[in-house]
Structure 1
């Protein structure tokens, strides 16, 4: 049975926006999947692109993205370090992370060179990256995408869109709140300075009563969903379900290339063994190769480096 839903995308105006776009998105449900076909343009006015912080121009995209209608939680989450983590109801991707790092040798102070280990946070460096009033900008392909909650999509429903693993993404004005907090003190290496949210590594997951989990997941009306929040991480940075192959971090949204998936089942006991939760939490928001520390249950604290493990997660490896 095939179910077809065409969304009437009405152009919205904004005092801070400079240009309007004829966005179009069509949703359908068939063969156990929920799919959206769109032209990659938003259904609202945007800031001007190119601009001082963003040299790219918005261009129409042939976008087709599908997620499962029956998402299931795995034992451990999949870290989404780059690329789209989901798609909004208007067909525009959610891509909270960036590919830019602090780089003192660059004229702009940042580049694609990850050597410093300080990864620019999209909204923490919003002016540097040319974000508009909907917390979005444009990549080198001309693809418009959201790094944070787009205010124009929150007026009529809490449902913003769907994560790559099929679970819904809702926004309810920081209710419940994120479990991430800024680290205390100062950065130990260049660019130095206090942890102020400019970089992903400025944040740590501390959790606490009634906060969202480390993937910004929680309960809504008795079911599991993800939440978009006004504070970091804004959108989930990891997914509890298996991401759709349509959300490849290094491919166009409609490309049929493999995405970051949980590894296939194997008979190898070492490959099946998951890192301790404390080791995964120690590297939440950190880049590969950064130093880390965690305390295994009943054992002394261990120091190590954040590494991508055979199980497909980033964890602290002694």
Structure 2
């Protein structure tokens, strides 16, 4: 009876554990890739420190995938190597009370790139106001040179329909961050998640999920921040109703938060765009690879007008070809 009681208690403790698993930790790897702006390769690690209750996140912040050309006419910032080192709880404790997100990094992606909150420096919705300033992988550098994501990092993992998402990163409160498809193959929406963009899965484990709706990656923390070096400056708690950061979307505004950049040099009004297309799942890896190559018009450079440098003219031509083929074949790729 005593052995049975101990076994039951141990099983409950294991099932209640929300720590990163060894398999999840093994996903924090920078793929071999030389980033063209810096000539550097990314580095990332998740290790156990002297304190067994903590994990150490370290990275140089260099992305392991294609990037736009930075600086460019819309973003004056360059991508530079960082010296990221953050401590998180190895076994995070869920709290009903939430804490707000600071400006700057709120977590780290599996490739060592920083994950940011959903706001620009003036509390605009970055997924709307800065979408055309992100590159083809939905990232960009800030004034400090740190490349980062405000929304789903499209070059990290394909979204395959009915296939559970893998871990995308970890929040600074220690809880994992997954993609938009849950463990049962269902694509999640805001209505499926709590105010922090998290949920307890069918195994009783709490996770955050990145979705196509605001706040995209996270809306707040449900766990404790233990690293005092992590900013606690919660400048923005909700998006402003009227964004004037970019001149009311007329291309006459100022500098973007987290590295949004200068306004476009061309006179026409900037278009508000949706992140919905970025979350369209594909039926298999082959169709995903085509979608990954395709770059919609808003991410294509403007040639002589100076554009945002998110794609080259050759990619623009390829996008046009793929778009034409898609229409001819009546496919659902675009």
TM-score, with length taken from structure 1: 0.57
Alignment CA distance shift 1:12-1:152 (3 Å): farther
What residue in structure 2 maps to residue 54 of structure 1?
75
The reply on whether 1:122 has 2:126 as its aligned counterpart is yes
> Which residue is 1:285 aligned to?
238
1:162 is matched with which residue?
Answer: 170
* Contact 1:178–1:232 (Cα < 8 Å) also in 2: no
Map residues 171-250 of structure 1 onto 2, 5 A cutoff: 171-173=179-181, 175=186, 177-179=188-190, 207=191, 211-220=192-201, 221-245=203-227, 248-249=230-231
> Corresponding residue for 1:150?
153
Distance 2:135 2:72 in 1: 10
Query: After alignment, is 168-177 or 80-89 more displaced?
Result: 168-177
Residue aligning to 1:78: 99
* Partner SS for 1:124: helix
CA shift digits 1:232-253 (9 cap, x unpaired):
211112011112325623xxxx
In the alignment, the residues of structure 2 paired with residue 285 and residue 178 of structure 1 have an alpha-carbon distance, to the nearest angstrom, of 19
Deviation at 1:34, TM superposition (A): 1.8
For the residues of structure 1 that align with 2:83 and 2:126, how far apart are their CA atoms? 25
The C-alpha deviation readout for 1:33-80, integer Å capped at 9, x for no partner, is 222221121111211111232110001111112211111112310011
Taking structure 1 as reference, are residues 47 and 237 closer, same or farther at Cα in structure 2, changes over 3 Å only? same
Q: CA deviation at 1:21?
A: 4.4
8 A contact 1:27–1:37 mirrored in 2: yes
Matched residue count: 205
Higher helix share: 2
Q: Deviations over 1:57-108 (max 9, x none)?
A: 001111112211111112310011422221111111110333433xxxxxxx
1:222 to 1:5, Cα distance in 2 relative to 1, 3 A: closer
Contact 2:168 / 2:179 at 8 angstroms: preserved in 1?
A: yes
Higher RCO, 1 vs 2 (CA within 8 Å, ≥6 residues apart): 2
Gaps of 5+ in 2: 1-21, 160-164, 241-334
| Cα displacement string for residues 116-145 of structure 1 (whole angstroms, at most 9, x for unaligned residues) | xxx3211201256x2112221111110111
* Higher Cα radius of gyration: 2
Taking structure 2 as the reference length, the TM-score comes to: 0.54
Note the 1:265-304 alignment, pairs <5 A: 285-286=238-239
- Contact 1:160–1:171 (CA<8 Å) still a contact in 2? yes
Give 1:10's match in structure 2, choosing from 22, 25, 31: 31
Q: Secondary structure at the match of 1:152?
A: coil
Structure 1 stretches of 4+ with a deviation exceeding 6 A read 3-6, 17-20
Q: 1:124 to 1:20 in 2, by over 3 A?
A: farther
Contact map agreement 1:86 1:162 (CA 8 A) in 2: yes
Q: 1:45 to 1:244 in 2, by over 3 A?
A: farther
- In structure 2, relative to structure 1, the CA distance for the partners of 1:11 and 1:212 (3 Å cut) is same
Two-structure CA RMSD over aligned residues (Å): 3.2
SS in 1 for 2:124: strand
| Residue 231 of structure 1, CA deviation | 2.2
Change (3 A) 1:20 1:237: farther
Structure number with the higher strand fraction is 1
Q: Distance in 1 between matches of 2:200 and 2:110?
A: 20
